[in-house]
Chains A and B, each alone.
Chain A
Amino acid sequence: MADKSLGAPCALNVRTVSAFADQLLADITNFSSVELDLTECEELDLAALQAISAARIHAADTGKTLSLSQPAHGALRSVLDRAGFTTDPSPADVDFWFHGESPQ
């Protein structure tokens, strides 16, 4: 069980991503483990994937844990596919985005 659960807005895109990234950074700073809940997120774009990827790097750098509340599906899965994140993913990527289940 993560110390903190952070929900994302319905639309997480280049227009809204900055506020979300700020909140995410604050939570990673203040908690040892953060769980992202993207189930309410219906619209994502590349800026969202990039912010989450940057958060993963920061969490790893600082010894914190960042995870998704659910394996990627729906809008998130679709954006990952379109952005080329699911082609030849590393094991760490499979663990993070798909909770260990191969996306193929």
Chain B
Amino acid sequence: MNAEDPAAAFRIEAGELLEQVEQGLLDLGHSLADMDLINAVFRGLHTLKGSGAMFGFDALAAFTHHCETAFDRVRKGQVPATAELVAVILSAQDHMRALVEGDAPDADGEAILARLQHALESASGAEPPVAEPGADRQGWRLFFRLPADAMANGTNPLMLLDELRDLGEAHIVARTDEIPPLPDLVATQCHIGWDVTLIGDISREDIEDVFIFVMDDMTLELEPLGDETSDDTAEADSCAVATSPVADTPQAGAPSSAAAASAAKAGESVRVPAERLDELMDRVGELVIAQSRLSQLAHDGDDLVLRSVSEEIERLANELRDTMMVVRMVPVASLFSRFRRLVHDLANDTGKQIALVTEGESTEVDKTVIERLFDPLVHIIRNSCDHGLETAAERAAAGKPETGTVRLSAHQASGEVLITIRDDGRGIDRERVRAKADANGLIQPGQVLSESELLSLIFHPGFSTAAQVTNLSGRGVGMDVVKRTIESLRGSIDVASTEGEGSTITLRIPLTLAIIQGLLVRVGNGSYVIPLAAVEECIELSLEEDFRSRGRSLINLRDRLVPFLRLRELFATGTKPDTHQKIVIVAIGNERVGLVVDQIIGNHQTVIKSLSAFHSGIATFSGATILGDGNVALILDVGQLVAMGQSVDTEEKIHAVG
């Protein structure tokens, strides 16, 4: 994003506002009388309209105005919030998104406004607006003059006047006495003031809300209407025009509490384009590599001063790296909240009763990871809702609550974040999976498959057990894409399922894609990095034991047989094994594998560099890094190696049985 491009900045702001409005509407759907939610939705729409007009999104501002007006009536108690009204505003909100992107068909907007009108009329019928014919008339008399540069900055005074009219009965008179003669006029500056008499049950905050974006520099004189408002309107009107209102409560320079709050909020955070953070991360990465080289030089020599400076730089570089990592972290709440609407829509589309429960929203993950997790999670949640959960009748027949639950949770565990999607539906039908795999030729007829192998077939390209292709899922294009995406994040995906009780899909994702703590090892003449988070322990492999275990790559680790891979052989180094080889035990979930290396060199701050497209097909490595001496070390893909080790293990077990 170009920092100078206000439209792009507005699109981001609008996205966040629409997100807030959506969350408010979804919550409101469950408790229609919650005034806090009603006010929150109103404020969101109000801000969206104001900002939209300011940045030249006039169609958006005009459309949002109708929705805001509807919610204004709700918050004033003129009409009750109804499920229909909430549903219409939700669909209106989709149209607003399209308007922000500039690709909204006019017909859609008109249809939504017609539905909005109908919803308002129905709501009015349900509980007619409170009419107070005999009540005393209340209201305000105000004079305001906008900052001279208001129009040039995108404020449309006519819309502010329209908003005042929306508050109640309005009598608006333009004051043109300060317009200069044409030769002295700066045509884009605003020299017109307005005398306004507003009649109705209107709070000061309502009026201040109208001016929320210009409040700081404008002139606003506001006084409540006195007893004279009970006289006829004409008298009140002439009074407003003829007299120059006394500035009883001048507001210029005294921002309202709402404006002050928003100003305070603005001061708490700074919006930075993600690509700048990426650049900064790259620089930190380069710094860590340079520091690593300096550290090696300092330790190779005898210069104590150089060593001291090097250690100081190492400390600072580490702190900078840690700070940088934290800056990039965002709570998964921003990701999870986007699924509430999805589940809401899926429930409507399928006619099922579905509740989404989220846990661990405060768990923080690298921003890039969050963005790339969205699509896979959409696939998984859709599958859960469409295939997994049963209809209310089926659930009742099975003795389950009629409302199915999709539980989305996140927590951190040893350098990884685990995201779990659990449903309490019917579970994966293993017979159907097997039959489908048979039919597609994915397995041999009668082939013996372990539980995990059978379930992992659902990640095979083109695999789907859905009898019918719906618009939700069942196209067989989902789960393999999910698996590939997760693996591209250096993560893994596990599935567990109990028939009749539901399925659980667990995603293990690294906290960051940029820098990891690694264990630097030597195999032959090459250096390799094993992500430290996956390392459980290191044990020695004596020559005798190595010899004894030839042709049977299993080691007895505390009475458990753990398969191991000789990296020297796997990488075909052509070198002889060291006398004191080591086995590094790595684990992914419950699966363990030993990796035989020649030497363990030690911890290494690993700045991950992607492999070139030419090398990206090599599954054993997930990336590369530059060492302190300038050499390159490849980073082992532990997930792939564990899978490889497990398959060797299975073969050997089968071999042993045979």
Contact = CB atoms under 8 A, between A and B. Distances in A.
Contacts of B434: none
Interface SS of A by simple majority: helix
Q: How large is the interface on B (under 10, 10 to 19, 20 to 34, 35 or more residues)?
A: 20 to 34
Interface in A17-67: 17-18, 20-21, 24-25, 28, 45-47, 49-51, 53-55, 57-58, 61
Contacts of B171: 87
Contact of A61 (B158, B181, B196, B237): B181
A58 B241 CA distance: 25
Contacts, number: 85
Interface in B177-205: 179-185, 187-188, 190-192, 194, 196
A71 B156 CA distance: 25
A83 B174 contact: yes
Contacts of B194: 84
A28 B162 CA distance: 33
A57 B158 contact: no
B152 interface: yes
Interface residues of A, number: 27
Contact of A50 (B156, B191, B196, B238): B191
A101 interface: no
B172 interface: yes
A57 B185 CA distance: 11
A79 B157 CA distance: 11
B396 interface: no
Contacts of A87: 171-174, 237
B176 interface: yes
A88 B182 contact: no
A34 to B, nearest CB: 11
Contacts of B496: none
Interface of B: 151-152, 156-158, 161-162, 171-174, 176, 179-185, 187-188, 190-192, 194, 196, 237-238, 241
28 contacts: A14-B151, A14-B152, A14-B188, A17-B187, A21-B182, A25-B183, A46-B158, A50-B187, A50-B190, A51-B185, A53-B176, A54-B179, A54-B187, A57-B180, A57-B182, A58-B182, A58-B183, A61-B181, A82-B161, A82-B162, A83-B158, A83-B174, A84-B172, A84-B173, A85-B174, A85-B176, A87-B237, A88-B173
Interface of A: 14, 17-18, 20-21, 24-25, 28, 45-47, 49-51, 53-55, 57-58, 61, 79, 82-85, 87-88
